[in-house]
Amino acid sequence: MNSALKDGILDNKVAFITGGTSGINLGIARRFVAAGAKVTVLGRNADKARAARESLGAHVLDVTADVRQPDQLAAALAQARDRFGEIDILVAGAAGNFPSPALAMSPNGFKAVVDIDLLGTFNALRLGYEHLRRPGAHVLAISAPQAQVPSMLQSHVCAAKAGVDMLVKTLALEWGALGVRVNSIWPGAVEGTEGMQRLAPTPESHARIAGAIPLGRFASAEEIAEVALFLSTDSARYVTGAVWAVDGGMSLVGFHALAGS
Ligand code: COA
């Protein structure tokens, strides 16, 4: 992949990535490792976490926790701290999604996604804060265009991700003077992720969605990771409270193509 970011740009940096065992977040972990960072990936499933670590190579730790459970998360953060020291880059990427009209969703279904996406992001940021290198750390939430673009079948995700982005902006205010930047990115449709397999399960729905994206295609996980990397470097040292769309323009046109999936 062509990159404007030089090799070794994260040498001696430490990253902690919730949801880092698959999909977009695993792509971010891979890019950070390639850039020289020591990386902890956190997932709910121990086998998947181990497989992720083995695929990433040296200087990687895998930990297991559910981001909805503060005690589990605190223990995982302590493990990472013992291994690698203070965290320079904290990525809150763990998320859950399933397509469903609100009327087919139970209160518990709505809650499951809000708890993983919004409460889980708060837990990661709040508990992770205690382990951040201050000043200097960067905190990145993986949000989604649904935070701002209403989308059929996504009431739970829209509500949760809107909350995530407001949380990011509020913490950017509160933590700026403490030397911690807090940002959010919106990956759009990304190839090969569990989320998109659920939202675009057939070749027809995949083609319909790709055709509706201004850039005319899905992203690769590497393209999302490149922006996550840039935001986490010193080149972005004056960027905080930002919400960046990395979605090929999808949020400009809405999500009507998803409705028929
Ligand atoms: N339609 C409607 N409701 C659904 C559903 C669907 N497709 N899938 C799950 N639910 C409901 C369940 O019925 C349950 O509600 P109930 O107790 O009233 O029956 C509720 O959601 C919780 O389900 P459960 O499977 O116990 O939750 P979980 O915490 O194990 O899993 C999910 C959370 C539902 C978000 C699950 O999809 C998940 O684990 N996702 C993680 C991976 C993922 O989504 N990746 C993509 C990220 S973008």
pTM of the model: 0.96
Q: Across residues 76-93, what is the average pLDDT? A: 98
Say how many domains are in the chain. Answer: 1
CA-closest residue to ligand 1 atom 9: 109
Which residues span the domain enclosing 208? Answer: 14-259
pLDDT for residue 259 is more than 70: no
The CATH code of the domain that includes 134 is: 3.40.50.720
Q: Which residues line ligand 1 (CB under 6 A)?
A: 95-98, 100, 104-106, 108-109, 112-113, 116, 194-195
User: What pLDDT does 260 receive?
Assistant: 59
113 CA: nearest ligand 1 atom:
35
Q: What is the pLDDT of residue 195?
A: 82
d(CA 5, CA 28): 14
Whether residue 2 is contained in a domain is answered as: no
Instruction: Encode pLDDT of 41-54 as tens digits.
Output: 999 999 999 999 99
pLDDT digits (tens, 9 = 90+) for 59-79: 999 999 999 999 999 999 999
Write the pLDDT tens digit of every residue in 185-242: 999 999 999 888 888 899 999 999 999 999 999 999 999 999 999 999 999 999 999 9
- Checking if the pLDDT of 261 tops 60, the result is no
Long-range contact set of residues 5-8: C-beta below 8 Å, sequence gap at least 24: 5/35, 5/226, 5/229, 5/230, 5/233, 7/35, 7/36, 8/35, 8/36
Alpha-carbon distance of 38 to 157, in angstroms, equals 31
**What is the distance in A from the centroid of ligand 1 to the CA of 98?**
7
pLDDT value at 103 more than 60: yes
| 6 inside domain | no
- At 105-162, the pLDDT tens digits run 999 999 999 999 999 999 999 999 999 999 999 999 999 999 999 999 999 999 999 9
Q: What is the pLDDT of residue 48?
A: 98
Q: Of the residues 97, 117, 258, which should be mutated to test ligand 1's pocket, given the most ligand atoms within 8 Å of the CB?
A: 97
Q: What is the distance in A from the centroid of ligand 1 to the CA of 106?
A: 10
Closest to 117 in 3D by CA, of 154, 143, 148: 143
Is 28 within a domain?
yes
Residue 48 lies in a domain: yes
Closest CA to 187 of 147, 133, 236, 144: 144
Query: Ligand 1 centre and the CA of 176: distance in Å?
Result: 35
99 CA → ligand 1 middle, Å: 10
Nearest CA to ligand 1 atom 46: 195
Nearest residue to 64 (alpha-carbon basis) of 86, 40, 88, 28: 40
- Identify whether 1 is part of a domain: no
Cα torsion at 221, 223, 224, 225 (round to 10°)?
Answer: 80
Which residue has its alpha carbon closest to ligand 1 atom 6? 98
> Ligand 1 centre and the CA of 84: distance in Å?
33
